[in-house]
Protein backbone atom coordinates (compact mmCIF):
# COMPACT_ATOMS: atom_id res chain seq x y z
CA UNK A 1 0.00 0.00 0.00
CA UNK A 2 1.24 3.46 -0.93
CA UNK A 3 1.60 6.23 1.58
CA UNK A 4 0.38 9.73 0.87
CA UNK A 5 3.59 11.15 -0.66
CA UNK A 6 3.90 8.19 -3.03
CA UNK A 7 0.23 8.52 -3.99
CA UNK A 8 0.66 12.23 -4.72
CA UNK A 9 3.78 11.58 -6.79
CA UNK A 10 1.86 8.97 -8.81
CA UNK A 11 -1.03 11.40 -9.34
CA UNK A 12 1.40 14.06 -10.59
CA UNK A 13 2.58 11.57 -13.24
CA UNK A 14 -0.89 11.31 -14.82
CA UNK A 15 -0.86 12.90 -18.28
CA UNK A 16 -2.06 16.50 -18.12
CA UNK A 17 -1.84 16.77 -14.32
CA UNK A 18 -1.78 20.31 -12.99
CA UNK A 19 -1.83 19.29 -9.34
CA UNK A 20 -3.19 16.85 -6.82
CA UNK A 21 -4.10 16.80 -3.15
CA UNK A 22 -5.16 14.47 -0.37
CA UNK A 23 -7.90 16.28 1.51
CA UNK A 24 -9.63 15.82 4.88
CA UNK A 25 -13.36 16.05 4.17
CA UNK A 26 -14.25 17.16 7.71
CA UNK A 27 -11.95 20.18 7.86
CA UNK A 28 -11.26 20.92 4.20
CA UNK A 29 -7.56 20.88 4.96
CA UNK A 30 -5.15 19.57 2.34
CA UNK A 31 -3.00 16.98 4.12
CA UNK A 32 -0.60 16.92 1.17
CA UNK A 33 -0.31 18.55 -2.23
CA UNK A 34 1.80 18.31 -5.35
CA UNK A 35 1.87 20.72 -8.28
CA UNK A 36 -0.18 23.86 -8.68
CA UNK A 37 1.32 27.31 -9.16
CA UNK A 38 0.75 30.94 -8.18
CA UNK A 39 -2.44 30.98 -10.25
CA UNK A 40 -3.70 27.63 -8.96
CA UNK A 41 -3.59 27.31 -5.17
CA UNK A 42 -4.27 23.67 -4.33
CA UNK A 43 -5.03 24.39 -0.68
CA UNK A 44 -7.82 26.78 -1.68
CA UNK A 45 -9.13 24.32 -4.28
CA UNK A 46 -9.04 21.49 -1.71
CA UNK A 47 -11.04 23.49 0.83
CA UNK A 48 -13.63 24.58 -1.74
CA UNK A 49 -14.05 21.08 -3.16
CA UNK A 50 -14.79 19.79 0.32
CA UNK A 51 -18.09 21.64 -0.02
CA UNK A 52 -18.75 19.85 -3.33
CA UNK A 53 -18.23 16.42 -1.76
CA UNK A 54 -20.23 17.17 1.38
CA UNK A 55 -23.11 18.67 -0.61
CA UNK A 56 -23.29 15.67 -2.92
CA UNK A 57 -23.32 13.30 0.05
CA UNK A 58 -26.19 15.26 1.66
CA UNK A 59 -28.17 15.19 -1.60
CA UNK A 60 -27.67 11.44 -1.91
CA UNK A 61 -28.87 10.99 1.66
CA UNK A 62 -31.93 13.23 1.12
CA UNK A 63 -32.88 11.32 -2.02
CA UNK A 64 -32.24 7.94 -0.43
CA UNK A 65 -29.63 6.99 -3.03
CA UNK A 66 -27.74 3.96 -1.69
CA UNK A 67 -23.99 3.46 -1.99
CA UNK A 68 -21.16 5.90 -2.07
CA UNK A 69 -19.53 8.30 -4.48
CA UNK A 70 -17.10 6.66 -6.91
CA UNK A 71 -15.84 9.98 -8.22
CA UNK A 72 -17.03 13.48 -9.07
CA UNK A 73 -16.05 15.17 -12.31
CA UNK A 74 -16.13 18.91 -12.86
CA UNK A 75 -15.51 19.91 -16.47
CA UNK A 76 -14.26 23.44 -17.12
CA UNK A 77 -13.40 25.01 -20.47
CA UNK A 78 -9.71 24.12 -20.16
CA UNK A 79 -9.55 21.71 -17.22
CA UNK A 80 -10.97 18.56 -15.67
CA UNK A 81 -11.21 18.32 -11.90
CA UNK A 82 -11.58 14.82 -10.44
CA UNK A 83 -12.58 14.17 -6.86
CA UNK A 84 -12.36 10.61 -5.54
CA UNK A 85 -13.28 9.68 -1.95
CA UNK A 86 -10.87 7.25 -0.30
CA UNK A 87 -12.67 4.00 0.49
CA UNK A 88 -9.99 2.21 2.53
CA UNK A 89 -10.74 2.02 6.23
CA UNK A 90 -7.49 3.84 7.02
CA UNK A 91 -8.51 6.72 4.73
CA UNK A 92 -12.13 7.23 5.78
CA UNK A 93 -13.08 10.89 5.55
CA UNK A 94 -10.41 11.69 2.96
CA UNK A 95 -10.60 12.34 -0.76
CA UNK A 96 -8.16 12.67 -3.63
CA UNK A 97 -8.38 15.77 -5.76
CA UNK A 98 -6.77 15.92 -9.20
CA UNK A 99 -6.76 18.85 -11.64
CA UNK A 100 -5.92 18.12 -15.27
CA UNK A 101 -5.30 20.14 -18.42
CA UNK A 102 -8.16 19.23 -20.71
CA UNK A 103 -6.06 19.44 -23.88
CA UNK A 104 -3.45 16.98 -22.56
CA UNK A 105 -5.45 14.57 -20.42
CA UNK A 106 -7.14 11.32 -21.33
CA UNK A 107 -10.09 11.44 -18.95
CA UNK A 108 -10.81 7.69 -19.00
CA UNK A 109 -7.17 6.86 -18.26
CA UNK A 110 -6.94 9.53 -15.57
CA UNK A 111 -10.01 8.09 -13.82
CA UNK A 112 -8.54 4.61 -14.08
CA UNK A 113 -5.17 5.72 -12.70
CA UNK A 114 -6.72 7.75 -9.87
CA UNK A 115 -8.85 4.72 -8.90
CA UNK A 116 -5.69 2.58 -8.70
CA UNK A 117 -3.91 5.23 -6.61
CA UNK A 118 -6.89 5.48 -4.25
CA UNK A 119 -7.12 1.71 -3.83
CA UNK A 120 -3.43 1.51 -2.90
CA UNK A 121 -3.42 4.54 -0.58
CA UNK A 122 -2.55 3.68 2.99
CA UNK A 123 -2.86 6.48 5.49
Please report, for residues 1, 33, 96, 107, the alpha-carbon distance to residue 30 in angstroms, rounded to integers and kept in the order given.
20, 7, 10, 23
Q: What is the pTM of this model?
A: 0.92
pLDDT digits (tens, 9 = 90+) for 51-107: 999 999 999 999 999 999 999 999 999 999 999 999 876 667 899 999 999 999 999
Helix (H, G, I), strand (E, B) or coil at 20: strand
In order of their start, the domains of the chain are: 4-106 (3.30.450.30)
Q: What is the pLDDT of residue 92?
A: 79
Average pLDDT, the chain: 93
Amino acid sequence: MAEMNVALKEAAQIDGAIGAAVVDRASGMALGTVGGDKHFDLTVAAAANTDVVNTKMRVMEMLGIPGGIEDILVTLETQYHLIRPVTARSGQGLFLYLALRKDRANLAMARHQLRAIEQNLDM
